[in-house]
Amino acid sequence: MSFKLKTVGLSIALMLSAAPLVVSADQEGAIAALEGLNDRFNAAASNHDAAGILSLYADDTIWIAPGKPAVKGLEEPKKLFEFVTSNKGDVSHSIDTLFVSDDGTLAVMIGSVDAKIESAGMDATGTYLYVLQPGDEGWEVAADMWHQHEE
């Protein structure tokens, strides 16, 4: 699994470094929609709405948590988001890098996470990487890989 992840990471880095300076109309529309998805994540997190966060994910999403094997489905993200929201966690995402395919049918979003859960004694930062695809109701997270930075 780690070889595949390193290969995927290298491929994504190469795609991002070769990103065009001019964007197509498809890409422009996708960028606005993806920024909206990030805004919806932050709004749901701010409102302690686990179901709202999960609604941004595909049912068969791939979840890659630090130090654990990748899993498919919503069970693991649901556990994390319900823990965060039930403990009134303050979590927000910002977008650092956004890649949209030329035809606007695939996207990669890389960003920063700030997470604070006072009741759990947690004050952390991290990085997330989403692979996104168009779904029935707009863009959805097809894969979520994240990492919490060392203190």
Interval 57-100: pLDDT, tens? 999 999 999 999 999 999 999 999 999 999 999 999 999 999 99
> Which residues, listed in sequence order, are joined to residue 114 by a DSSP beta bridge?
92, 125
pLDDT for residue 84: 95
pLDDT for residue 151: 62
Instruction: List phi, psi (to 5°) of 23.
Output: -110, 145
Average pLDDT over residues 35-59: 97
pLDDT for residue 76: 96
Q: Is the pLDDT of residue 8 over 60?
A: no
pLDDT for residue 5: 42
Interval 88-134: pLDDT, tens? 999 999 999 999 998 888 999 999 999 999 998 889 999 999 999 99
Mark out the alpha helices in the chain (DSSP H runs): 2-17, 25-46, 50-54, 75-86
Could you give the C-alpha distances from 3 to 9, 61, 111, 128, in angstroms and in order?
10, 20, 23, 19
Does pTM surpass 0.95? no
Going by the DSSP 8-state scheme, the letter that residue 7 receives in this structure is H
In angstroms and rounded to an integer, the radius of gyration of the C-alpha atoms of the chain is 15
Give Cβ neighbours of residue 113 (< 8 Å, ≥ 6 apart): 91, 92, 93, 124, 125, 126, 127, 128, 146, 148
Average pLDDT over residues 41-46: 97
